[in-house]
Structure 1
Amino acid sequence: MSSPSPARPRTLRSLEGLRALAVVFVFASHALVLGAFTSGDAAAVFNTATGEGRIGFLAVSFFFVLSGFVLTWSAKPSQSATGFWRRRLMRIGPCHLLIGAIALTQFAAAGETIRWGPALANVFLVQNWWPSQDLIMYQFNGATWTLAVEMLCYAMFPLLIRWVRRLSTRTLWYWIVGLGVVAVLIPLISYPLLSGFPPSKFYPLGSWPQLWALYFFPPVRAIDFVIGMLLARIIATGAWPNIRILPAVAVNLGVFLLLFQLPIPFGIAALYPIPTALLIGALATRDLSGRTTILGSRFMVWLGELSFSFYIIHITVMFAVHAAFAGDLVGYAHAYTPTQFSTPVAIAFIIALYALCVALAWVLNKTVELPAMRRWSRPASERATRRPEPEPQPQT
């Protein structure tokens, strides 16, 4: 099997823009939880538009598959495991700790009792490894559960990339299809083992053990990440078929609509990885051909570059702002009495929240995320002899 050409671009602009779109889906699913609409009819329309929150599930799969793809696409054969881990930690760590400190300050100012067990699990990004709703529900920053998944993926990546690079093109295809089948089989297995338990506080349409095993448990979600890695190698070897963007979008939309007819465990993650890979593959090959898409526009790429900073702050910001209308200092889901608005005001409020998150994400990106990468992502001796290259954004 031939090695990927060193001349191929490390950044695929349409995939950068795809991050921005995916993060809007995540934001919309969390805006649904705000309960900002006075009108029950308007709330029902918003609920339907977000697929009862499923649009956020789809976006998370996009992020995990895209993470595996981008890290594999940009990886150099000469990179060391320790160098990779250092860059990943410096990408996510400073922002994660800063937002956690801000949230802790909120809790202290409001006189809230700090529950240090769940709090420390959140700080060290191990909250997903034990099936306790408390560890997921009680977090300073609810967005960081995806980072707990990414930490496992990052830990395995140096070993996985060596394995993936050794696979023949045919074997790559076998693995990507096989993992897609495994993702579908896991919800089936969950029924005899995990159904019949009380519903989840987080998402009441399924039992908590099912939701944890299918959505939060890092080894299960790593399936998406590995599929992204395999996809990157298939495209790098030139073996990806000529799948156009619109059919790939149609497949994703069809799967999304199909899930309204299936039990909720199938709508959490099972059917998303392969359709997601189809769309990522179609966009990547379009970029490689030299043709542009709207996702590759300057504005969408700019939003994509802010996607990690946006993601890491958006829950803290949106719930804190909403809680402020009720006079509460601490804002996280279900911890305050939500203020409701008329339909036009609620729509304007949600749009304004998105704009505020973008503005604060830009500040966080410029003052914390990028400076931390420039300062600490490489040893001092290496920084003195070479300029840092742009790193791919983490997918969360």
Structure 2
Amino acid sequence: MTATQEVTPGNLSSLTGLRAVGMLFVFVAHGAAASVFADKGVAAGYNTLIDNGVLGFLAVSFFFVLSGFVLTWSARPGARRFWRRRLLRVFPNHLVVLVVSALTFVAAGETIRLVPAVANVFLVQNWWPDADLMYYQLNGPTWTLSVELLCYAAFPLLYALVNRIKPGRLWFWLAGVGLLALAMPLLSEPFLAGYGPSKVFGVGSWPQQWFLYFFPITRSLEFVLGMILCRIIQTGRWVRVPVVVSALCVLAVYVVLYFLPQNFVFAALYPVPMALLIGSVATSDLAGRSRVMNSRLMVRLGDLSFAFYIVHIPVLFSVHAAFAGEWVGYANHYTRTQWNTPTGIAFLVGAYLLCVLAAWVLRTVVEIPAMRRWGGSRTRGTSGLSRPKAPGPQLQA
């Protein structure tokens, strides 16, 4: 695209397929925590692959950037309607899985701590640097929803502000937001580095890790960057970057993070490379060049990504405990049942497929009916994500 070309309506289904890859990375990262391999060499290799969560951190950043991009691409007038649909997309799935998780905790003889549980219900657990709120959750991955809720609440205002940026300055703003995210570890160092030991990742102070990884305002930078990226493409300012090149940039950052301090690993370096990847895939779709990510299988799996994310930790660790002959609450400790390498691989593959099945049930029984009943229009998969010329997109992200 040149600076004078406007985008034309087109299908962005490859972004949906890319979600399936992101969710696979999250599952693989959390699969390491299950510690299923008895062979110490294999276990060490697996842990090296994810490098204390790097693979999962990368995937989380991808989803935050993608969320800002997709919501901007599919924006329609009406803040109330937007907020209603966002809450309906999040809370039915969230509450159903939370109830099931709570029942699992009770059956396992675990104590449900009232304050963290209530914070988890309302998705406000990220707003205070209290490790109990983050660590003793009924469904740990829902911390990202606390970030998303802030982004949803602020989206109408953010959308108006991003739209005020002159097209010729969009790349400067994208670089500026990316540099601000990169600077967060340095900005936090004088104020938060010395406030006690870590309680989650084992490096640095907990308040600093909370600020860099969990704090909604800090993580909203990735969401805003995705919004700016969308405007760059919409206004025809995208400078074509092949998908292979942008993917190699992400891979390069992934490798570099093995050699950087932990505080840079959480989120600082991912946003800009992820934006390049999302932009490359989106423009490839618009040009009709995509072939792999927009296959029927990848799109179907991508449509399940949110439900998959909500259920994958309860399913993974509950099934692991069941194989161990135990009924263990997965919030506070993990079952350490281990197998030989082929059996361990088979377990992880089977657990992944079971998560896909559980996600399909949750989406079919809870998410889609809720959106159809109260969302204002029939819910479709994101495989039709497009931007009609007028009056606006027909599909809600």
TM over 0.5, shorter chain: yes
Distance 2:207 2:12 in 1: 38
Distance 1:111 1:362 in 2: 29
For residue 389 of structure 1, report the CA deviation from its aligned partner.
Answer: 6.5
Distance 1:141 1:388 in 2: 26
Distance 2:256 2:396 in 1: 30
Contact 2:137 2:331 in 1 (8 A): no
Provide the secondary structure at the position in 1 that maps to 2:279.
helix
Distance 1:100 1:200 in 2: 26
- Structure 2 gaps of 5+ residues are 386-394
Corresponding residue for residue 301 of structure 1: 299
Corresponding residue for residue 67 of structure 1: 67
Corresponding residue for residue 227 of structure 2: 229
Query: CA 1:328–1:200 in 2, change beyond 3 Å: closer, same or farther?
Result: farther
| Deviation string, structure 1 residues 276-323 (Cα, Å, up to 9, x no partner) | 000001001100001123111111111000000100000111011112
* Correspondence 1:95 to 2:56: no
For residue 366 of structure 1, report the CA deviation from its aligned partner.
Answer: 0.9
Distance 1:242 1:149 in 2: 31
Contact 2:136 2:331 in 1 (8 A): no
Query: CA 1:394–1:223 in 2, change beyond 3 Å: closer, same or farther?
Result: farther
Corresponding residue for residue 55 of structure 1: 55
Query: CA 1:3–1:157 in 2, change beyond 3 Å: closer, same or farther?
Result: farther
- For 1:100-139, what aligned pairs fall within 5 Å after superposition? 100-139=98-137
For residue 57 of structure 1, report the CA deviation from its aligned partner.
Answer: 0.4
Residue 38 of structure 1 aligns with an amino acid whose one-letter code is: A
For residue 197 of structure 1, report the CA deviation from its aligned partner.
Answer: 4.0
Distance 2:195 2:31 in 1: 28
Larger mean CA deviation between 187-196 and 152-161 belongs to: 187-196
Distance 2:281 2:366 in 1: 30
Distance 2:350 2:356 in 1: 10
Distance 2:73 2:269 in 1: 24
Contact 1:309 1:362 in 2 (8 A): yes
For residue 330 of structure 1, report the CA deviation from its aligned partner.
Answer: 3.5
Contact 2:5 2:236 in 1 (8 A): no
Query: CA 1:305–1:293 in 2, change beyond 3 Å: closer, same or farther?
Result: same
- For 1:56-205, what aligned pairs fall within 5 Å after superposition? 56-76=56-76, 79-205=77-203
Query: CA 1:351–1:199 in 2, change beyond 3 Å: closer, same or farther?
Result: farther
Contact 2:34 2:334 in 1 (8 A): no
Query: CA 1:253–1:81 in 2, change beyond 3 Å: closer, same or farther?
Result: same
Residue 179 of structure 1 aligns with an amino acid whose one-letter code is: V
Distance 1:233 1:60 in 2: 22
Larger mean CA deviation between 188-197 and 285-294 belongs to: 188-197
Corresponding residue for residue 286 of structure 1: 284
- For 1:306-317, what aligned pairs fall within 5 Å after superposition? 306-317=304-315
Provide the secondary structure at the position in 2 that maps to 1:348.
helix
Query: CA 1:117–1:333 in 2, change beyond 3 Å: closer, same or farther?
Result: closer
* Correspondence 1:8 to 2:9: yes
Residue 95 of structure 2 aligns with an amino acid whose one-letter code is: L
Superposition TM-score, scaled by structure 1 size: 0.92
Residue 142 of structure 1 aligns with an amino acid whose one-letter code is: G
Contact 1:316 1:331 in 2 (8 A): no
For residue 236 of structure 1, report the CA deviation from its aligned partner.
Answer: 0.6
* Correspondence 1:270 to 2:268: yes
For residue 2 of structure 1, report the CA deviation from its aligned partner.
Answer: 9.4
Residue 372 of structure 1 aligns with an amino acid whose one-letter code is: A
Distance 1:118 1:24 in 2: 28
Distance 2:178 2:86 in 1: 26
Residue 162 of structure 1 aligns with an amino acid whose one-letter code is: A
Contact 2:240 2:280 in 1 (8 A): yes
Report the aligned-residue RMSD.
2.0
Distance 1:2 1:165 in 2: 17
For residue 110 of structure 1, report the CA deviation from its aligned partner.
Answer: 2.6
Larger mean CA deviation between 322-331 and 250-259 belongs to: 322-331
* Correspondence 1:245 to 2:246: no
Query: CA 1:145–1:53 in 2, change beyond 3 Å: closer, same or farther?
Result: same
For residue 333 of structure 1, report the CA deviation from its aligned partner.
Answer: 4.6
The number of residues matched between the two structures is: 384
| Deviation string, structure 1 residues 182-220 (Cα, Å, up to 9, x no partner) | 111110122222223443232113321121010000000
Residue 222 of structure 1 aligns with an amino acid whose one-letter code is: S
Corresponding residue for residue 392 of structure 2: none
Superposition TM-score, scaled by structure 2 size: 0.92
Corresponding residue for residue 44 of structure 1: 44
For residue 108 of structure 1, report the CA deviation from its aligned partner.
Answer: 2.1
Distance 1:118 1:389 in 2: 34
Residue 65 of structure 1 aligns with an amino acid whose one-letter code is: V
Residue 58 of structure 1 aligns with an amino acid whose one-letter code is: L
For residue 363 of structure 1, report the CA deviation from its aligned partner.
Answer: 1.1
For residue 4 of structure 1, report the CA deviation from its aligned partner.
Answer: 6.5
Contact 1:67 1:228 in 2 (8 A): yes
Contact 1:34 1:333 in 2 (8 A): no
Distance 2:336 2:265 in 1: 27
Distance 2:291 2:179 in 1: 31
Distance 2:345 2:300 in 1: 24
| Deviation string, structure 1 residues 108-144 (Cα, Å, up to 9, x no partner) | 2233222110000000000000001110111110110
For residue 354 of structure 1, report the CA deviation from its aligned partner.
Answer: 0.5
* Correspondence 1:21 to 2:21: yes
